[in-house]
Amino acid sequence: MTDPGTSRHVEIKDGDQTVAAAEVRASQQAGGTVQASLHAASGHIAPGSRASLVDAVMDLPEVQASDRVEAAIPYGDGESLERLRERTEDAQARAAGATTLLDANIPSSRRPAGEQQAGNQAAGERQADDQSSA
């Protein structure tokens, strides 16, 4: 991406322990491409945690305002891959070493453009709050 975009860190916790996390970078322009890198803790984690992470990422306002998603997930993480396929259209996945790369379209049943811009502004404010509290 040519612009710095919006960056977010998303976590799914089980009690005090982070079991899954993602780094999400979205273009500041509505209709762009969002990039996400998803990771889960090593060892056994509760079923559904990885799918919950995908849902949290896909429900971000800046993701909903985008047209495409490029996601990197650990190779063999079938739960995340399946949930990404459920939440996107025309998904294409390919292996790249220990990673699966997925390119897909984000469904067009999003909010009107005016609401998308307002959502992006609110997301930027929340991000600033998240970073200041870290």
Q: What pTM was estimated for this model as a whole? A: 0.76
Residue 102 pLDDT exceeds 80: yes
- What CATH homologous superfamily does 6-133 map to? Gcn5-related N-acetyltransferase (GNAT) (3.40.630.30)
Average pLDDT over all residues of the chain: 82
- Contact at 8 Å (CB) between 8 and 127? yes
d(CA 15, CA 22): 18
**Domain definitions of the chain by residue range:** 6-133
pLDDT at 43: 86
The tens digit of pLDDT for each residue in 25-73 reads 988 777 899 999 999 998 889 999 999 999 999 999 999 999 999 999 9
Q: Which helix (H) or strand (E) holds 102?
A: strand 99-105
